[in-house]
């Protein structure tokens, strides 16, 4: 498999998502020989309905296609490479929305497991797009897709050249930018999160960069009642997004 020309999607949920959302991207499916699994058989039945090529291969062949330590769960889809979406795509997305935009912005998150978990939560919370900077941040990878459990196939991941420029542009579009910072005196739970909204979370350990903080309309903190000082970025994402979901649901 030529990884530079093709996307490798592995894991039951991730392969299921691409089958459901855009089966035309799939070039072929590789399945582990001898694997007796009702879930995989269900995926193969879907693949056959789309007349997709299915190859039965040894487990070690699949192992070579994924990052060491990753669990492919006995199935891999080799897909047409998908270009990363840009701010132009974001502009088009916002134009097409009939409800206030609900966005997640991740400032230099570099761990693919965290990005994947954030995409999974973003999908569950109904986020319209996740925005990341092009540099010093993780992009879509097979590991991200696997951890996202289908979220990477349903939530647009927008990669922007200059996050500060994008934040300024979003503000011009009427989007309220809420950043998270442990030093803020304002609680997340006392902050209005309805309307056109983007929630911004920072990198593992370092948080939001200075300029990112300065461009936020408001900085909030997640109240911490124990001895730990901060939450993992994917956990913090879940807390923030679902507080917004709670408010937005009650407001409709």
Distance CA 46, CA 38 (A): 13
The DSSP-derived string for 219-252 is: EEB----SS-----HHHHHHHHHHHHHHHHHHH-
Q: Which residues of 78-111 are buried (b: 16+ CB within 10 A; e: fewer)?
A: bbeebeebebebbeebbeeeeeebbbbbbbbbeb
- Cβ contacts of residue 115 below 8 Å, gap of 6+? 106, 109, 132, 138, 144, 147, 148
The span from the CA of 158 to the CA of 146, in Å, is 18
Residue 8 is labelled as binding a ligand: no
Q: Is 116 annotated as a binding residue?
A: no
User: Which DSSP state fits 171?
Assistant: H
Rounded Cα distance, 115 and 123, in Å: 12
Residues 47 and 19 sit within 8 Å (Cβ to Cβ): yes
Consult the annotation and say whether 222 binds a ligand: yes
- Residue 138 and residue 238: Cα distance in Å, rounded? 19
Q: Which residues are annotated as a binding site for S-adenosyl-L-methionine?
A: 202, 222, 231
Binding residues: 202, 222, 231
């Amino acid at each position: 498999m030529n990884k530079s020309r093709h996307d490798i999607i592995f894991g039951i949920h991730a392969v299921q998502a691409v089958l459901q959302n855009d089966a035309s991207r799939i070039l072929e499916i590789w399945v582990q020989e001898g694997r007796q699994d009702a879930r995989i058989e269900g995926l193969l039945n879907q693949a056959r309905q789309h007349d997709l090529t299915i190859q039965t291969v040894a487990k070690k062949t699949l192992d070579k296609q994924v990052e060491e330590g990753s669990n492919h769960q006995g199935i891999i889809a080799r897909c047409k490479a998908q270009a990363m979406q840009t701010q132009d795509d974001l502009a088009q997305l916002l134009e097409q929305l009939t409800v206030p935009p609900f966005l997640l912005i991740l400032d230099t998150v570099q761990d693919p497991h965290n990005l994947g978990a954030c995409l999974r939560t973003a999908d569950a919370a109904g986020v319209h797009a996740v925005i990341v900077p092009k540099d010093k941040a993780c992009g879509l990878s097979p590991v991200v897709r696997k951890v996202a459990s289908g979220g990477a196939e349903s939530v647009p991941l927008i990669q922007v050249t200059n996050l500060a420029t994008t934040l300024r542009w979003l503000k011009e579009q009427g989007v309220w930018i809420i950043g998270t910072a442990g030093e803020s005196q304002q609680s997340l739970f006392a902050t209005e999160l309805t309307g056109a909204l983007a929630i911004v979370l920072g990198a593992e350990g370092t948080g939001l960069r200075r300029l990112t903080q300065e461009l936020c309309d408001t900085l909030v903190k997640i109240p911490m009642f124990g001895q730990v000082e901060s939450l993992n970025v994917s956990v913090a994402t879940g807390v923030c997004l679902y507080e917004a979901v709670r408010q937005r649901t009650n407001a409709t």
